[in-house]
Amino acid sequence: MAESILQLEAVVAGYGPTTVLNGLSFEMAAQERLAMVGRNGVGKTTALRAIMGLVPLRSGRVRFNGQDVSALAPHQRAALGLGYVPQTRDIFPSLTVEENLLAGLKRRSRSALDEAYALFPRLAERRRNGGAQLSGGEQQMLSVARALLGQPSLLLLDEPLEGLAPLIRLELLNAFRNLSQQTGIAVVIVEQQVDEALGYAERALVLDHGIVVHSGGAAALLDDPDTLERWVGMAVH
């Protein structure tokens, strides 16, 4: 594998008495686009949260750019270049689009806003609109744009297409493609929209009971209805 950006080594994590990740291991190359799929409740969100430091590890290790980050707090991991867009859109509804973006700027200059607006022209049109006035798709764009202002080298996207109309999903996926091409940022995308996620990603992991049960090329998985039906429970259209 090319230079590795992320390694999970036998990660065990969960909530209270429940163990969700049962020794999750996988590795990702720099600039890679990885889709993570699997049935509801198999631990996809928990895996992203464990990478980000939002759920403590009971055992195992998370390495980012070779560094063991297992004991670091989420903001420390963010400072190293991890970006996270949670499943619930993480915006301030009472602030405008621009104010939401400014809140994500930290020490960067305002010109970084132009990059966000170039990626999502819709946000530029709506820069004075309140967060609560945005459509679901626009809120999702804002949530992604804000994470990008932290200049991550690895972006974790938790069901970014959820609840969005097909045309808006297409618009978001196009933005993700442009982002990958222009910046070489590595992306983990968790999706129930399996066909769309596999169309975007290069490689795919299938999770079940908190471990990887299938790993391979995204296009190959798209062409493998048996594996999809068995582990994802979903016919691809």
In the block, tokens 């998985």 appear at: 221
Q: Is position 45 an interface residue for Mg ion (rule: CB under 5 A)? A: yes
Taking the least distance from each CB to ligand ADP, the nearer of 45 and 100 is 45
Compute the distance between CA of residue 100 and CA of residue 105 in angstroms, rounded to an integer.
Answer: 9
Which 44-83 residues touch ligand ADP, going by CB under 6 A? 44-46
Q: Is position 18 an interface residue for ligand ADP (rule: CB under 6 A)? A: yes
Compute the distance between CA of residue 209 and CA of residue 222 in angstroms, rounded to an integer.
Answer: 21
Retrieve residue 2's tokens. 């090319």
Q: Which residues contact 162 (CB under 8 A, 6 or more apart)?
A: 87, 192, 193
Among 1, 2, 3, 15, contact with ligand ADP (rule: CB under 6 A): 15
Q: Is position 43 an interface residue for ligand ADP (rule: CB under 6 A)? A: yes
Q: Is position 20 an interface residue for ligand ADP (rule: CB under 6 A)? A: yes
- Angle between helices 136-148 and 111-119 in degrees, nearest 10: 140
Among 40, 109, 111, 181, contact with ligand ADP (rule: CB under 6 A): 40
Q: Which residues contact 192 (CB under 8 A, 6 or more apart)?
A: 37, 40, 159, 161, 162, 234
Taking the least distance from each CB to Mg ion, the nearer of 123 and 164 is 164
Taking the least distance from each CB to ligand ADP, the nearer of 10 and 102 is 10
Interaction site with ligand ADP (CB under 6 A): 15, 18, 20, 38, 40-46
Interaction site with Mg ion (CB under 5 A): 44-45
